[in-house]
Amino acid sequence: MTSCREHDSNRSNLSAASAFAIATAGANEGTPTKETYRRMSLATAGFPSDQRNGDKEFVIRRAATNRVLNVLRHWVSKHAQDFETNLQLKSKVISFLEEVIHNPELLAQERKAAANIIRTLTQEDPGDSQVTLEEIEHMEFSTPVEPFESLSALEIAEQVTLLDHLIFKKIPYEEFFGQGWMKAEKNEKTPYIMGTSNHFNHMSNLIATEILRSEEPAIRGCTIEKWVAVADICRCLHNYNAVLEITSSLNRSAIFRLKRTWIKVSKQTKTLIDRLQKLVSSEGRFKNLREALKNCDPPCVPYLGMYLTDLAFIEEGTPNYTEDGLVNFSKMRMISHIIREIRQFQQTSYKIEHQPKVTQYLLDTTGVLDEEGLYEASLRLEPKLPT
């Protein structure tokens, strides 16, 4: 029989990983069942018999270590942003996993699982990691801005999608809590969400400005057709945010009222506009858009406003605590489900090569009109008919 002193000595030799595993097991699982003992005994063949024969602590360590590794695997794969923004956390998790790898008490599959998690933590993103949003925004351009006419619809659609996803993926999940985007201090509380909103508005203004740039109705009609082609390519790229950016700009009063311009737009283009508008319509709580998101494989850029509306509805309509004073986990699960879906789309990057000449055009604010300026330009091009 092992003495108490020997038992204490064995316990003091436990690694940090094992100690954490035991603590986790005790907190979550309670006493292992006979079936747990049986399965773990089969899984621990090759360990000394004094460790395997009914050693409750050993069985708990085996089960709990697997659970700890599963938690870390989920954390690293589903919430990679935590480690991108906190290098100290990343370093500590890697150190912990390296200890697991070099722990002779653990099974080979446990050490392999730890190695796989480290590989996930340290691997480079094969998608758009070659360029960041900051690099694009601070890029110095030596040439004049490329005119819209010289850029193809495909070039524009790809670079719109690249920018939209880079902006979208930067939003940290903390900004989705507490409706900070609706508060007076929204720019301080949710700067990345507001950045997404500002970019959406800039694109809408840019598109409308480009349509109103020409004095000729036929050229304005061609510009509309080209932007609709961009929107349709974005749909094929699963960039639903851009589809809404473009279709909403066509519905602005400064553009919608241009009767002489719309006469020059082909019937096929008008049919396509109707189809795209139905796809991103807010009718039925974005029913069609939700269906498209459900059936599409990432990469994808969803319309963020849809999710913000969902979160606001849950926050305002569901209490944080039940009538018994307990945390309302049903509410937390609903919020978690929405954020999980957002994170899924954030984590899969597009393999689109950056074209500086196109992003320079898309981000240039020179000459882009605001709401008032757009309407004035619209009235100048096509004055109101006398009543």
Least confident of 71-75, 84-88, 189-193, 311-315: 84-88
pLDDT bin (cut points 50, 70, 90) of residue 30 is very low
Q: What is the mean pLDDT of residues 185-189?
A: 94
Q: By three-state DSSP, how is residue 73 classified? A: helix
Single out the residue of 179, 193, 171 nearest to residue 318, CA to CA: 179
Q: So what's the pLDDT on residue 358?
A: 96
Single out the residue of 235, 163, 159, 233 nearest to residue 196, CA to CA: 163
Phi, psi of 239 (to 5 degrees): -95, 80
DSSP assigned state of 90: H
Domain range list for the chain = 14-122, 133-381
Phi, psi of 45 (to 5 degrees): -60, 135
For the whole model, what pTM was predicted?
0.75
pLDDT bin (cut points 50, 70, 90) of residue 130 is low
CA distances from 105 to 48, 60, 73, 255, 329 (A): 10, 13, 21, 71, 38
Q: What is the mean pLDDT of residues 155-183?
A: 95
201-212: pLDDT as tens digits:
999 999 999 999
Q: So what's the pLDDT on residue 33?
A: 53
Q: Where does 133-381 sit in CATH, by number? A: 1.10.840.10
213: Cβ contacts below 8 Å, ≥ 6 apart? 148, 223
